[in-house]
Amino acid sequence: MQVKTLNFDIKGDDRGSLIALEQYKEIPFDIKRVYYIFGTQEGVRRGYHAHKNLKQVAVCVKGSCKFLLDDGKSKKYVELNSPDLGLLIDKFVWHEMYDFSHDCVLVVFADGYYDESDYIRDYDEFIKRIKDDS
């Protein structure tokens, strides 16, 4: 599995910093939905799913968190801890987020609207789907 991280240009001056994200530029798809996760309690893991079609870019705009990414063949671990770093999560990648810092704000850009039928929430079903598609 190739994990793709995206490095965003930081613009700014003595007043502070700014990062601009645009679809088909820094975000490699049409943005249909943006959501953010914050206030995650210590020891909580989130995610535990894959998507059949959805692609996402996750950016930790404050604090840090870690990701477990699994394509059914290999697992990769990534830490997001800077607002100028994004993580591209492709379809059919099981993902879990964990080790959220107390101040973590994780913003996610998605190429589709929320659709419960696009989720695979059972790991065994995910593995079966991956093997069936091979």
The closest alpha carbon to 51, from 4, 104, 99, 88, belongs to 88
- No. of H helices and E strands in the chain? 1, 12
Please report, in angstroms and rounded to a whole number, the separation of the first and last CA atoms in the chain: 14
Name the β-bridge partners of 27: 23
Residue 51 designated active-site: no
Helix (H) / strand (E) element for 76: namely strand 75-80
Q: Work out the widest C-alpha separation in the chain, in whole angstroms.
A: 55
> Which amino acid does the sequence have at 46?
R
Among candidate residues 49, 51, 95, 102, the one labeled active-site is 49
Active site positions, annotated: 49
